[in-house]
């Protein structure tokens, strides 16, 4: 097996473990807050804080970690993030109050970077003609982790308590880090660059209109994905006509997006390599937008599940396509910082989406929110075509 393929397999498994570790604990944080002494009146407030603070800190730190990746090596950043996350998750098993859990989540934000550094490492080692396929494969790892994490976390929490989920998450990301430490080598020497800072990196990025466009697209798609989080269970309840089983049904429907991602991401990568990634970007954004608009016409739960699965098929093409375009439009000695900026865009979107969804659901119907989201995605695809059609 070629060296880059061996390393791709290791990093793929590592991202599965890291993504599973994250999703193993995050969906159950509100329940954990009750266990830590939170009341019905305060848990919503604490849930919002502990959920968003990691994204906030991670968004601030991502360009900094990206700059260090360019200066000292992407592999070192993967190992740095993995070891720190393992320690932080382990601490999470021993917190005794909501305030201590908030502190752990802040530390988690400082420790972020495992997945984007892994993607940057793959991008630096994969042959140009296999770049789209390789990044598509890495997208399947995130999707797989997003499915397995809640499943394992739910089982562990149900039978052994939430604290063991944190221990299992720590063990998972630690094993992923050891695998990278033992089996992954950085393919070429890190360029000797002068010290940089986040402001200078943003200044460099501001001169690259394609990179700026990709950052904007990531922000839009993350808002579109996360905007449904506050009301998804309520919507499922309305469709099935009863509250009983709504959490389980919601979990299954959310997992359909991940399953679709596993199926479709390598396909989009291969097609993009042949037909052009700009063209694929327009197709997947338009398709995702039209599927959201179609929510206006559904009446049954199975129809909602089907649309979510199809949405996942298009969504699976967005992330690897954007990542590949980022690789092609940036110099190798700026690539770590570029992926740091994409992480910032992702995490800002993950903060804005739930807040916007909560506000919107208070004054408009849920199907109308899906329609508005779809319209935004379609308009985004049109703008992207106008801005990017002359790029190769």
Is 172's pLDDT higher than 80? yes
Mean pLDDT of the chain, nearest integer:
84
What was the pLDDT predicted at 44? Answer: 64
Instruction: Give dist(CA 40, CA 51) in Å, integer.
Output: 17
Number of structural domains (the chain) is 2
Contact between residue 227 and residue 292 where contact means Cβ atoms under 8 Å apart: no
Q: How many CA atoms lie within 13 A of 306 on its CB side?
A: 9
Is 251's pLDDT higher than 90? no
Does 189 reside within a domain?
Answer: no
Q: Are residues 163 and 19 in the same domain?
A: yes
pLDDT in tens, 137-171: 887 887 788 777 777 777 777 677 778 889 999 99
How many other C-beta atoms lie within 10 A of the C-beta of residue 250?
16
Domain range holding 140?
1-184
Q: Are residues 124 and 174 in the same domain?
A: yes
pLDDT in tens, 319-364: 889 988 988 888 877 877 888 788 888 888 888 887 788 788 778 8
What was the pLDDT predicted at 246? Answer: 66
Q: Are residues 297 and 320 in the same domain?
A: yes
Is 255's pLDDT higher than 80? no
Does 122 reside within a domain?
Answer: yes
Can you spell out the DSSP letters for 20-55? HHHHHHGGGHHHHHHHTT--TTTHHHHHHHHHHHHH
Residue 330 CB-density burial (10 A; 0-12 exposed, 13-18 middle, 19+ buried): buried
pLDDT in tens, 121-132: 888 888 877 887
Does 194 reside within a domain?
Answer: no
CATH number of the domain bearing residue 73: 1.20.1250.20
Is 85's pLDDT higher than 90? yes
Give the distance, in angstroms, between the CA of residue 289 and the centroid of all CA atoms in the same chain: 19
Q: Are residues 153 and 226 in the same domain?
A: no
Does 103 reside within a domain?
Answer: yes
């Amino acid at each position: 097996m070629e060296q880059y393929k061996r390393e791709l397999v290791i990093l793929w498994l590592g991202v599965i473990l890291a993504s599973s570790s994250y999703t193993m604990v995050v969906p159950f944080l509100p329940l954990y807050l009750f266990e830590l002494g939170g009341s019905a009146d305060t848990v919503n407030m604490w849930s919002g804080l502990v959920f968003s603070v990691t994204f906030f800190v991670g968004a601030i730190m991502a360009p900094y970690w990206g700059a260090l990746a360019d200066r000292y090596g992407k592999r070192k950043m993967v190992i740095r993030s993995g070891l720190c996350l393992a320690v932080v998750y382990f601490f999470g098993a021993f917190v005794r109050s909501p305030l201590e859990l908030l502190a752990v989540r802040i530390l988690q934000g400082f420790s972020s970077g495992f997945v984007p550094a892994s993607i940057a490492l793959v991008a630096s080692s994969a042959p140009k003609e296999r770049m789209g396929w390789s990044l598509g494969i890495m997208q399947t790892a995130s999707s797989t982790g997003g499915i397995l994490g809640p499943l394992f976390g739910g089982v562990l929490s149900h039978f052994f308590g939430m604290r063991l989920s944190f221990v299992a998450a720590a063990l998972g990301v630690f094993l992923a880090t050891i695998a990278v430490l033992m089996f992954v080598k950085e393919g070429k020497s890190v360029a000797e660059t002068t010290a940089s800072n986040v402001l200078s990196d943003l200044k460099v990025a501001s001169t690259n209109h394609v990179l700026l466009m990709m950052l904007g697209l990531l922000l839009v798609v993350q808002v579109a994905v996360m905007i449904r989080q506050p009301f998804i269970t309520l919507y499922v309840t309305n469709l099935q006509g009863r509250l009983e089983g709504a959490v389980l049904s919601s979990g299954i429907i959310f997992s359909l997006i991940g399953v679709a991602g596993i199926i479709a991401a390598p396909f989009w990568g291969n097609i993009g390599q042949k037909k052009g990634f700009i063209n694929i970007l327009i197709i997947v954004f338009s398709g995702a937008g039209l599927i959201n608009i179609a929510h206006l016409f559904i009446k049954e739960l199975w129809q909602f599940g089907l649309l979510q699965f199809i949405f996942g098929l298009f969504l699976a093409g967005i992330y690897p396509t954007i990542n590949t375009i980022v690789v092609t439009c940036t110099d190798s000695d700026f690539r770590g910082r570029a992926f740091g900026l994409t992480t910032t865009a992702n995490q800002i979107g993950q903060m804005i989406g739930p807040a916007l969804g909560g506000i919107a659901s208070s004054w408009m119907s849920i199907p109308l929110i899906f329609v508005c989201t779809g319209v935004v995605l379609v308009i985004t695809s049109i703008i992207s075509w106008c801005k990017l059609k002359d790029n190769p």
